[in-house]
Structure 1
Amino acid sequence: MCRWLAYSGQDVLLGDLLYKPEHSLIDQSLHARMGVETTNGDGFGVGWYGTEAATPAVIRDTGPAWNNRNLREIASHVRSPLFFAHVRASTGTAVQQTNCHPFRHGRWMWMHNGAIAEFHRLRRDLSLAIDPALFSELEGSTDSEVMFYLAITLGLDQDVPGAVARMAGLIERVGHREGVEHPLQMTVAVADGERLWTFRYSSRRASRSLFYSSRVDTVRALHPDLEFLSGASDETRLVVSEPLGDLPGVWNEVPEGSCGVVQPGTDEFLPFEPV
């Protein structure tokens, strides 16, 4: 599987979160504690929203994140109020740039940890359900990208939770029709530059790990020595495949079968079920 991080809040230097925490995403690319694999070296990607463009910037590479000089260079100079980072462990599809996360379409970014079970058997039917006008934009061979374009087809622009629920429902219907008992395993992050949505769901009801950070004022009171938090706004949130450290009171498990919305004002957790 994979490990990922999504950040939303005040402008932050990407490197402060990618490299500095005790159990940073870069450390997880070599020493994951909660993933199926301990090493996630089949490529990486970072995507971020800036102030000058309506669409996010995305860089992806097929090598491991832990020794990539270009990633370290970019991370030490780029600031963003909303960014994704992903380290990949392939579930069987090729190690190639177009299969690395995050994926981008217009203002949307998407990344995923998990798998469509027996994807090689379901791939044709699922791919044919993608809007023909979008099909030519499908670049890679992963189940994750197919999920993204299915969600766009099924109304991501109008209703993010509804589109993801319809996508998940379609995958389960096609899988069950083909005799796959538990077709879907997913933790997903999707953003439009203003809001961040996260999903934790699996057909087995035993999803991959996912955590969100406590309110900044709570964390600051518990750990006043954390330099990064000195200028962080109360809107700051992190969602991660596994905690970036062992500090008590900082990390909370995302509930099974849920959708989280990080947005200006009040964040929300909603029950999630495929439609």
Structure 2
Amino acid sequence: MCRWAAYRGEPIYLEELVTSPAHSLIEQSHCATKAKTATNADGFGIAWYGDRPEPGRFRDVLPAWSDCNLKSLARQIRSPLFLAHVRAATHGSTRRDNCHPFVNGSWSFMHNGQIDHFDRLRRPMESMLDDEHFNARAGSTDSELLFLLALQFGLRDRPIAAMAEAVGFVEQISRHLTGTARVRFTAAFSDGRTLYAVRYATDAHAPTLFAAPMGGKGGYCLVSEPLNDETDTWVEIPAGSAVILDAKGLDATKFEPASEPETKVERMAEPAMAL
């Protein structure tokens, strides 16, 4: 399972989440405490917003703790909104295109979790994409494909609803093709203005998500696990929740996957069943 951290608020240096805290993201890359795997060494990435609509991005396949460029960038870059991720691969080889965050236009996305039976679901998931989104696929992970599905379903205009439709579609396709469905999904995504996060699972094991104020003037960070031992500071976001962090502050609401009519799901799955 991966680890990630995201921030929105007054501009701060990336190092305040990535390298400086006692349990920073780099520390979590080799010593995570709230994940099945303590080591997250299959690459890393950061996406940050500045003066342009599109985020800057830096990714590599090295373990985060061994990359001196990451430490240098985190010390020099200040941003009002950024996403950072260290990867423990479940689907997709260790290569740069499979490292989070994924970017499409002004949108960025990163994910911790997995989709069971992805090898059987990949093709019907891809078949839902139009040419624009299909051709934007660079890697081979379930995470990137789920991001592109959400974009296809309208993420730019209705972020939480589109993500709920994407997750619901995957669950229904999985039940139709395999008889079961298990999605574990804790993700952060942003258009450069608002930071969104979702914590959800079909079972009782949703990957963790915590929030804490940071940076002053309404700034918050969202993380897979707390960055320090100040337990009173960190609030665990319940499973089945969506978080919206904007200029007004942090708000949490219920997250529930949206379902398509069963006949429509069967029709969408037909090409995959013909293989």
TM-score w.r.t. structure 2 length?
Answer: 0.92
Give distance in 1, aligned partners of 2:221 and 2:16: 13
Partner residue of 2:270? none
Letter in 1 for 2:246: Q
Counterparts of 2:47 and 2:91, CA distance in 1: 24
Name the residue aligned to 2:10: 10
What per-residue deviation string (whole Å, max 9, x for no partner) do you get for residues 99-138 of structure 1? 0000000010000000111101110011111122211110
Q: For 1:246 and 1:264, how far apart are their aligned partners in 2?
A: 27
1:241 aligns with 2:224: yes
Contact 1:3 1:25 in 2 (8 A): yes
Match of residue 42 from structure 1: 42
TM-score (norm 1): 0.92
Matched to 2:6, the amino acid is A
* Inter-partner Cα distance in structure 1 for 2:54 and 2:255: 28
Instruction: Give the match for residue 148 of structure 1.
Output: 147
CA deviation after TM superposition for structure 1 residue 39, in Å:
0.3
Runs (5+) with no aligned partner, structure 2: 259-275
CA distance in 1, matches of 2:146, 2:207: 17
Structural RMSD (CA): 1.1
TM-superposed deviation, 1:205: 3.6
Matched positions, count: 258
Q: Secondary structure at the match of 1:267?
A: strand
Residue matched to 1:271: 254
Query: Which residue matches 2:210?
Result: 211
Bigger shift: residues 84-93 or 145-154: 84-93
Pairwise CA distance, 1:267: 2.2
Query: Shift of the alpha carbon at 1:180?
Result: 4.8
Q: What's 1:64 paired with?
A: 63
Give the fraction of aligned pairs with identical amino acids, expressed as a percent.
Answer: 40
Deviations 1:20-51, CA, capped at 9 Å, x for gaps: 11111000000000111100000000000012
Rounded Cα–Cα distance in structure 1 between residues aligned with 2:107 and 2:211: 21
1:198 and 2:197 correspond? yes
Letter in 2 for 1:268: D
Runs of 4+ in 1 over 4 A off after TM superposition: none
In the alignment, what sits opposite 1:24? 24
Q: Show the counterpart of 1:168.
A: 167
Gapped regions of structure 1 (runs ≥ 5): 217-231
Q: For 1:194 and 1:180, locate their aligned partners in 2 and report how far apart those are by CA, in whole Å.
A: 40
Contact 1:205 1:257 in 2 (8 A): no
Please list the CA deviations of residues 199-247 of structure 1 after superposition, one character each: whole Å capped at 9, or x if unmatched.
000111420111011x45xxxxxxxxxxxxxxx3231101000011111
Secondary structure at the counterpart of residue 152 of structure 1: helix
Alpha-carbon distance in structure 2 between the residues aligned to 1:202 and 1:186: 6
Cα distance in 1, alignment partners of residues 4 and 130 from structure 2: 28
1:162 Cα deviation after fit: 0.5
**What are the equivalent positions in structure 2 for 1:75-114 lying under 5 Å apart?**
75-114=74-113
CA 88–180 in structure 1, closer or farther in 2 if over 3 Å, else same: farther
